Amino acid sequence: MLSQRGFTLIELLVAISIFSVIGLASYQLLQSAIEGKKRIKQSTENVLAIARAVDIMTSDFSQLVPRRIRNNYGEWLAPLIFEEDNYLVEFTRAGWPNPTGKKRSTLQRVAYSFDYDDRTLTRHFWEVLDRAEESKSVEEVILSDVEECLIVPVLDESTQEQGILTQGDSQSYLPMAIQISIFLESSPTVLRTVRLVKNAPRSYAEGSEKGTEKNADT
């Protein structure tokens, strides 16, 4: 009669150790794959968020027009203002879509602000062009995790010699272009120069020939 021999304790311990090592290696490999997928997803979302924010700003600035507006107190505001009332920039743009066919202007007043504490870049717009006393802006955070945002005019030689935003001349409120610089912690610095519309229709400059400009020098 043949005797049946089983596994010894040492053999069982060796087998368990081997399976443990294989299991741990498989877990670490799976964990690395999951973390890599998360990083790729986060990176993709960041790139899309940056692209969306830059597209919004480019669309706004590319349609900037020399139209003054009245603020909540009835005072004239220049078509383009830099660093006033906690805004990086405030300006009038054309091309405001009106899919519902409401009776309103196709021009829109837009502003951008940067919050150093929350590290957010916010777009503001007003539903009316010339504001009433109770008019408030609609706010939308278009980009988060921003370290710094700079929005500056790009001047041609003649404008630099004469000084930007000369009072009484509506066309002088438009520099040659606007330069946008967005500094991000996890991504390279975003630089975009937006050339402004030239020879805008004179109807867009309505209201710009009377009164005293506020913030005429920037």
The Cα 134–Cα 71 span in angstroms is 10
Host H or E run for residue 13: helix 9-62
pLDDT value, residue 165: 45
- Per residue of the chain (218 residues), give pLDDT as tens: 555 666 677 878 888 888 888 888 888 888 888 888 888 887 788 889 999 999 999 999 999 998 899 998 889 999 999 998 899 999 999 988 887 778 888 899 999 999 999 999 999 999 889 998 888 999 999 999 999 999 999 887 655 444 444 333 434 457 889 999 999 877 778 889 998 866 555 555 554 444 334 443 33
- Residue keyed to tokens 């009106």: 98
Residue 127 is assigned to a structural domain of this protein: yes
**Contacts of range 190-195, beta carbons closer than 8 Å, 24 or more positions apart:** 190/50, 190/54, 192/54, 192/57, 192/58, 193/154, 194/57, 194/58, 194/61, 194/62, 195/62
Q: Cβ contacts of residue 138 below 8 Å, gap of 6+?
A: 124, 125, 126, 127
Could you list the residue range(s) of the whole structural domain that residue 64 is in?
56-205
Q: Would residue 36 count as lying in a domain?
A: no
Among candidate residues 150, 200, 193, 146, the one with its CA nearest the CA of residue 173: 200
Entry field: residues in the chain: 218
Q: Return the pLDDT at 149.
A: 94
Q: What pTM value is reported for the model?
A: 0.72
The DSSP result for 120-142, as a single string, is: EEEEEEESSSSPPTT---EEEEE
Domain containing residue 193: CATH number? 3.10.610.10
Q: Is residue 210 included in any domain, yes or no? A: no
H helix count then E strand count, the chain: 2, 10
Residue 180 lies in a domain: yes
Three-state secondary-structure class, residue 154? strand
Whether residue 29 is contained in a domain is answered as no
Q: Please report whether residue 86 resides in a domain.
A: yes
Is residue 132 within 8 Å of 186, Cβ to Cβ? no
Q: Is residue 159 part of a domain?
A: yes
122 domain residue, yes or no? yes
Q: What pLDDT sits at residue 190?
A: 87
The total of structural domains in the chain comes to 1
